[in-house]
Chains A and B, each alone.
Chain A
Amino acid sequence: MSTRISTSPPAAADHYLVTFVGGFILLAALGIGLAIDARQAFLFLLGGAFGLTLFHASFGFTGGWRRFVQERRGRSLRAQMLMVAAAALLFIPLLASDISPWGRPLAGAFAPVGTSVVVGAFLFGLGMQLGGGCASGTLFTVGGGQARMLVVLAFFILGSLVGTAHLPWWLTQPSLSSINLSKSFGWVPALALTLGGLGLVALLSIWVEKRAHGMLEARSTPFPLTLRAWLFGPWSLTAAALILAGLNAVTLFSAGHPWSVTYAFGLWGAKIAQAAGVAVGEWTFWSWPMQERALNASVLADVTSVMNFGVILGAALAAGLAGKFAQGSAKLTLAPVVAAILGGLLMGYGARLSFGCNIGALFGGIASGSVHGWVWFALAFLGSIVGMRLRPFFGLDGHKPT
């Protein structure tokens, strides 16, 4: 059987948007390359690939966790586990090696296991259900033209800024130091433990789904096999999971650290506050050497920022290609906007306390072999369940309390 290759765009493709956003991406990459360097321009384009993948597969954590808890459907949760497992297969051996591209060793996402992670992850999980998207979800839906998510993003930035003001205090609270499974047990047992843990979550989701429905849900979107499907979407969750893992490995190798999203939000907030006359540079957090340097450098020199710009624009390009830009966006009413504000604030504050979001802490942390990633996952999931209970009070399509 032969596979027919077709590259003709679907009738719904938004040609103007594709041309404009595509041209903007190329110009911006050129500008970043000239203003900073070629590697930074590459990372911007890499962010674009993340955004395109996230949009074409609608790959988000928030909806997937909600479907698992409320409908006992675990397909999305299993795709997330596959993504982290595929990344761990690349990350753990790479991080244990002596490879030092760009003259410095690769750095995994490692963080202490303490009060700040427990509290921050719980708040983040709660916020992501109220906001209707996690950090990467917020970026790709903003790129997809969802006005409500612009509100979430604005307050995500504000919450992150407040988080940077409070983080030094949180770090004085009880905590274990960071636990790197590779250093504790060696990289092979660390990889086995990580894959085993991810496999257990996937098996649990299968057990729960079969118990509730008798069988697993049939795959709704096939693996993209034609060039047309790759260009215009939609992509299956499995395809997206494997691509996101690969892109994160490319990020680790080219940026020197795993993909992260929320650090930039705090930086953007600090720069905006500084421009408004707030003496952010005097805050403890922003006087630490790395943070001080980031605050006083061009935002284009910050890896996380340029990758976030890329994610938004890549998602906008995908939305144009699929003809789905601003599709399904409803009129903004007060209650969902209040939920967006609260969700953004909680996610921003929580992410700063817990050293990242689903991407930086869960995806990057677990794939690096860091125990804080697992603690983050458990607490964010718990917070998410509370958030699902609160959604109906804001007119969101969540669980109706009985």
Chain B
Amino acid sequence: MKSRNTLLFGSALLAATVAVIADHQANAPAEIPEAARASAPSSESASQDDDEGYAPCGAI
């Protein structure tokens, strides 16, 4: 029973790792060209938009 569960855990871990990597590849933000980066607003100010004070389990 233990070896079956270990195999199941290992398979689930492998599948989840592949899925996470695939999702990251598909959704990772594109590289910003150097020139555009220079004129883009800083990430500090960009983070203070509508997600300010947001908790995932709090009110939507």
Residues of chain A touching chain B, judged by Cβ–Cβ distance below 8 Å, are: 17, 24, 35, 102-112, 142, 145-147, 150, 167, 171, 178, 256-258, 260, 262-264, 271-272, 285, 288-291, 293, 296-300, 303-304, 309, 316, 325-327, 329-331, 355-357, 359-361, 364-365
Contacts and interface: CB of A to CB of B under 8 A. Distances in A.
Given A298-B28, A300-B20, A355-B59, A107 B53 contact: yes
A299 B5 CA distance: 26
Nearest to B44: A103
A298 B24 contact: yes
Nearest to A108: B55
Given A105-B52, A290-B50, A299-B20, A329 B5 contact: yes
A104 B53 contact: yes
A17 B56 CA distance: 33
Given A103-B44, A103-B47, A316-B9, A167 B57 contact: no
Contacts of B58: 107-111, 257, 355
Given A110-B58, A299-B20, A329 B47 contact: no
B34 interface: no
B37 interface: no
12 contacts: A107-B58, A108-B58, A109-B58, A142-B9, A145-B2, A146-B5, A289-B50, A297-B29, A299-B23, A316-B9, A326-B2, A356-B57
A360 B53 contact: no
Interface string B7-50: 01100110010011001100111000000000000001001101
Contacts of A309: 16, 20
Given A35-B24, A107-B58, 14 more contacts: A109-B55, A110-B55, A111-B59, A150-B8, A271-B23, A285-B60, A289-B51, A290-B51, A299-B23, A300-B20, A300-B24, A326-B5, A327-B2, A355-B57
Given A145-B9, A326-B5, A331-B1, A296 B27 contact: yes
Contact of A104 (B20, B47, B56): B47
Given A104-B53, A107-B53, A290-B51, A147 B59 contact: no
A303 B23 CA distance: 15
Contact of A361 (B8, B13, B44, B57): B57
B53 to A, nearest CB: 4
Contacts of B52: 104-105
Contact of B59 (A178, A289, A297, A364): A178
Given A150-B12, A289-B50, A145 B55 contact: no
B55 A147 contact: no
A112 B20 CA distance: 33
Contacts of A316: 9
A326 B54 contact: no
User: Which 7 A-B residue pairings sit nearest by Cβ, starting from the closest?
Assistant: A360-B57, A356-B57, A257-B55, A263-B56, A326-B5, A260-B57, A298-B24
Contacts of A178: 59
Contact of A329 (B2, B27, B54): B2
Contacts of B23: 271, 298-299
Given A289-B50, A331-B1, A35 B28 contact: yes
A175 to B, nearest CB: 10
